[in-house]
Chain A
Amino acid sequence: MRDLQQYLRPGLPTPFCPGCGHGILMGLILRAIDKLELNIDDMLFVSGIGCGAWIPSPTFNADTLHTLHGRAIPAATGAKMFNPKLRVLVISGDGDLADIGGNHLIHGARRNIDLTVICATNMVYGQTGGQVCSTTPTGALTETTTLGNPYRPFDLCKLVSAAGATYVARYSVTQPFLLIRSINKALQTQGFSFIEALSPCPTQFGRRNGYDSPADMLKFLLDRCITKEKAKGLSPKELAGKIVTGEFCDGRN
């Protein structure tokens, strides 16, 4: 493995809070790029607004396009359509890609243009102070659901699969090797590939839901995430509250 430092713009501090999973995810993405021996100068990193959008911009020492809130996929679509030689990777948060950008997400999957999208899901609007979003679990406490979230969360993998993506997977940053392998596959997929990467947010999600410390929040993901192979034999009751991880769509095969 090459030195990952070469992929980072020099002299920048981490933008993330203590215990945030986005730094782990950043490292896993770079490991996947490194493993494939991709030339980062041939890549374009597109992000929207929010904590997840700060994973590539300005940290990655490459072309980065930090777009409007929710509009990373349209901007990536324009760049890729005009210059197909660019390997375009969208990295942004769940609020950005699934809430305000939800329509672009399903249309991106429908068009099946050769883009890779990594959604850093922390189940909350982190940067604005911890409001409910479309991936917040039912009943969870947030700054704007103080009696518990009354709504159901999106299953983004089902949504994006149904919309026609070629490769769809979900892993948590607590499953680092599976996640690297998945990013690796997504980057090699011709067509729209989507990975939901669960990332802990102790600062905004955890502390309102009984997972005050970074370790508690990581344990939350370790306890809840279960591979789809393991989930197979479980009853609905046993599956309650679990987050099923794995590859849900692999059109490359």
Chain B
Amino acid sequence: MGLREAKSILPPGSYYLSGNEAAAEGAIAARCSYYAGYPITPSTEIAERISVRFKEVGGVFMQMEDELSSICSAVGAVWAGAKAMLATSGPGFSLMQEGIGYAAMTETPIVIVDVQRPGPSTGQATTVAAGDVMQAKWGSHGDYQVIALSPWSVQEMYEQTINGFNFAERYRVPVIVLSEAALGHLRERMDVREKVQLFDRVKKAGAAPFGTEEDDGVPPMPSFGEGQKLLVTGSTHNDYGVRKTDDPRVHEKLTSRLHNKIMNNREEIIEYEDYYLADAEIAVVCYGLTSRSSLFAIQRMQQEGKKVGMLRLKTLWPFADRLVSDIGTKVKKIFVPEMNKGQIVGEVMKYASCDIIPYNQTNGQIIQPNVIMAELETLLQ
């Protein structure tokens, strides 16, 4: 139980893979044992690769009739003892929202890879966007927390998927890997080390499966078939899963713990990278593929002696509120380029007190470095 070192399933070495293939390999490295999904561009290669790889390494692959059933079957499998993953894109992610809320309420660890494409609705199936950032946080009704990760490379598609499983198991929460179409289909080098760190589900026979003494605790998770006579429900429930649908204290206690177990541990969850922030006048706050363009831009500008830095958010939810607030006191301006109409910029505005300038592009293409450079040049004047 807890964190342990395990052998990587892929032999150590260098591979040339797409982001989608890397996500599939990350799931296999994390000992994912159940995959359910419905075909959708641009995520389908994840399902395709897992369906083949499960034949080699073991695991249950189910192509279901839609995304509603995919996520519900994953929840059923997880309570039967599996580690489960799903992959989809915007339209399918919308359909999965009810299941994400159910998984959050029942504290079911699942990993969902959302390879983002432009919406709303069917939008453009084969081009890129980052329009699901807020949906990942607020997509299902009611108050709940999830963890959402934002990879920027094929290497990170592999690593963040493994991390995603570890976070899901550790905090008993749905984890969303917010990939982007252009990353899903990007091919580049990926290195596999000999060992991977895995977090094994904590089990304790007889312990309350839905409550802890602390108001931010994560209860141990039993499985069906262990004779524990489990009550699993998406209705408000007490520590033992008994429905309490009209007791105000039970609902307050449950939703508070679901919130606190993530928010009180956010410093341990949040990962980021910073570049040249020490003496920066302008900070670029970015995530996903846009960070690659941003880094290229600020490295060029640094060579010219321009005081620009960058914060790359590897974790989008929970949001790095203290970090962004701190940066806001040190720089004059924060520039937030996004492949949407302004989603993370709203969070930056909540916490940073300096000037905040969004840059929004929704043409189905990545934001090029020269665009970011030109914007930053203007802001420096």
Contact = CB atoms under 8 A, between A and B. Distances in A.
Contacts of A63: 224-225, 228-230
A86 B223 CA distance: 11
Given A42-B225, A44-B225, A81-B34, A74 B64 contact: yes
Contact of B76 (A57, A70, A76): A76
Given A67-B102, A86-B224, A78 B229 contact: no
B160 interface: no
Interface residues of B, number: 41
A78 B68 contact: no
Interface in A51-70: 57-58, 61-68, 70
Interface stretch (B23-31, B231-239, B351-359): B231-239
B342 interface: no
Interface string B72-90: 1111111111101000000
B86 to A, nearest CB: 11
B233 A66 contact: yes
A66 B82 contact: no
B72 A79 contact: no
A76 B36 CA distance: 13
Contacts, number: 122
B75 A75 contact: yes
Given A63-B225, A77-B73, A107-B65, A68 B34 contact: no
A165 to B, nearest CB: 16
A46 interface: yes
A75 B72 contact: yes
A42 B77 CA distance: 15
A86 B225 contact: yes
A146 to B, nearest CB: 29
Contact of B224 (A57, A70, A83): A83
A78 B231 contact: no
Given A64-B231, A68-B102, A78 B72 contact: yes
Contacts of B78: 78
Contact of A85 (B60, B64, B225, B230): B225
A44 B65 CA distance: 23
A103 interface: yes
Interface in B266-305: none
Contact of A104 (B69, B81, B99): B69
The bracket for how many chain A residues form the interface is: 20 to 34
A122 B33 CA distance: 39
B69 A66 contact: no
**Interface secondary structure of A, over-half rule:** mixed
Contacts of A44: 80, 224-225
A85 B232 CA distance: 19
A103 B65 CA distance: 8
B69 A107 contact: yes
A9 interface: yes
A238 interface: no
B36 A78 contact: yes
B235 A78 contact: no
A74 B69 contact: yes
A78 B230 contact: no
Interface in B221-262: 223-225, 227-235, 241-243
Given A44-B225, A66-B235, A75-B76, A82 B230 contact: no
Given A68-B102, A74-B69, A103-B66, A83 B81 contact: yes
Given A9-B229, A44-B224, A78 B65 contact: no
Contacts of B76: 46, 65, 67, 74-80, 82
B373 interface: no
B81 A68 contact: no
B98 interface: yes
Contact of A79 (B98, B224, B229): B224
B75 A78 contact: yes
Nearest to A113: B62
Nearest to B98: A68
- Residue with the greatest number of chain B CB neighbours at <10 A, chosen from A44, A79, A85: A79
20 contacts: A9-B229, A44-B225, A63-B228, A63-B230, A64-B232, A66-B232, A66-B243, A67-B102, A68-B72, A75-B76, A76-B76, A78-B74, A78-B76, A81-B62, A82-B76, A83-B80, A83-B223, A103-B69, A104-B69, A107-B64
Give the 10 A-B CB pairs with smallest separation, nearest first. A78-B76, A78-B73, A74-B69, A75-B76, A78-B77, A66-B233, A74-B72, A79-B76, A71-B72, A82-B77
Interface of A: 9, 41-42, 44, 46, 57-58, 61-68, 70-71, 73-83, 85-86, 103-104, 107
Given A41-B225, A79-B76, 16 more contacts: A41-B229, A42-B225, A44-B224, A61-B229, A65-B76, A70-B68, A73-B69, A74-B70, A75-B75, A77-B64, A78-B78, A78-B80, A78-B82, A79-B224, A81-B77, A107-B64
